[in-house]
C-alpha cells in the first residue's frame, strides 16, 4: 500500500511538473494581454517562414502594423479601454487572416503579420480587410469621438533579402511612410 501511494505521489509530481513547464513555455512565447505570440515567438516564426520561402522560391510578405494615435486613446478613455482595443484587434486579426498566416504582437501597439505564399499586391488587399475591420472596434463615448485605425508597412522578399532584419527594415520604412502620409 505504501508503495502504491509513493508511485501515485511521484506520478502526480511528474505530471504537475510537466504542466508547469508547458505553462512557462506559453508565458515565455505569448503576450499575456492579447494571447498572440510575443515578439520573441514572432521572430522565430517569421525567420522560419522566410527561410522556407527563400529555399522554395515562394513569395512571402511581412507587415508591421501600428495602431494610430494609441496614446491618445489611452489618455482620453483610459488604459482599460486601450487594453480592450488591443484585445479586439488581436481577435479581429485571428479571425480575418488565413490559418497559414502568422499574426503576433510586436510590442506596445505594434503587430507583425507574416503572409506566406502571398505576393505584395494580394497582401495589400488582406491588410485592407483588416484595416476596415479595425474601424468597427468600439470606443467609449467621449466629447470628441475617435475611431481605431492603423498604419501598416509591407515588404516582400526579393533577391537582396537575406535575413529577417532586412525585410523588417523594409516594412518599417514603409510603415513610417504610411504614417507620414496621413495614417490609416
Integer Cα distance of 72 and 137 in angstroms: 15
> Which string of DSSP letters, residue by residue, matches 126-170?
HHHHHHHHHTT------SS-----EEEEEEE--TT--SHHHHHHH
What's the pTM value of the predicted model, to 2 decimals? 0.85
- CA-CA-CA-CA torsion for 149, 138, 36, 183, nearest 10 degrees? 0
Q: What residues are annotated to the active site?
A: 109
Task: Put the strands of the sheet holding 102-107 in their side by side order.
Answer: 102-107, 110-116, 60-67, 150-156
Integer Cα distance of 123 and 50 in angstroms: 15
Integer Cα distance of 29 and 23 in angstroms: 10
Biggest alpha carbon–alpha carbon distance for the chain: 76
Integer Cα distance of 160 and 100 in angstroms: 25
In the structure, what pLDDT confidence band is assigned to residue 24 with cuts at 50, 70 and 90?
low
Q: What is the mean pLDDT of residues 87-107?
A: 97
64 SS3 class: strand
Where helices occur in 65-139 by DSSP H, the ranges are: 70-77, 79-96, 120-134
32 SS3 class: coil
At residue 184, the pLDDT reads 86
33 SS3 class: coil
- C-alpha cell, 122: 494580394
At residue 18, the pLDDT reads 73
Share of the chain above pLDDT 70, in %: 94
Whether residue 104 is predicted with pLDDT greater than 60 in this model: the reply is yes
At residue 20, the pLDDT reads 62
Mean pLDDT of the chain: 91
Per-residue pLDDT reduced to its tens digit, 133-168: 999 999 988 777 899 999 999 999 986 777 999 999
**Beta carbons within 8 Å of 144's beta carbon, 6+ residues apart:** 76
Amino acid at each position: 500500500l505504501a508503495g502504491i501511494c509513493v508511485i501515485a505521489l511521484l506520478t502526480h509530481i511528474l505530471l504537475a511538473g510537466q504542466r508547469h513547464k508547458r505553462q512557462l513555455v506559453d508565458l515565455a512565447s505569448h503576450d499575456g494581454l492579447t494571447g498572440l505570440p510575443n515578439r520573441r515567438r514572432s521572430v522565430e516564426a517569421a525567420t522560419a517562414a522566410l527561410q522556407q520561402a527563400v529555399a522554395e522560391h515562394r513569395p512571402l510578405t511581412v507587415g508591421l502594423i501600428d495602431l494610430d494615435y494609441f496614446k491618445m486613446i489611452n489618455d482620453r478613455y483610459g488604459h482599460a479601454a486601450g487594453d480592450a482595443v488591443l484585445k479586439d484587434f488581436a481577435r479581429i486579426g485571428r479571425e480575418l487572416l488565413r490559418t497559414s498566416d502568422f499574426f503576433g504582437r510586436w510590442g506596445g501597439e505594434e503587430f507583425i503579420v507574416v503572409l506566406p505564399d502571398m505576393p505584395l499586391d494580394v497582401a495589400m488587399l488582406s491588410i485592407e480587410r483588416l484595416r476596415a475591420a479595425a474601424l468597427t472596434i468600439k470606443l467609449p463615448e467621449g466629447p470628441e469621438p475617435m475611431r481605431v485605425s492603423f498604419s501598416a508597412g509591407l515588404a516582400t522578399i526579393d533577391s537582396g533579402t537575406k535575413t529577417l532584419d532586412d525585410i523588417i527594415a523594409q516594412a518599417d520604412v514603409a510603415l513610417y511612410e504610411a504614417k507620414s502620409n496621413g495614417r490609416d
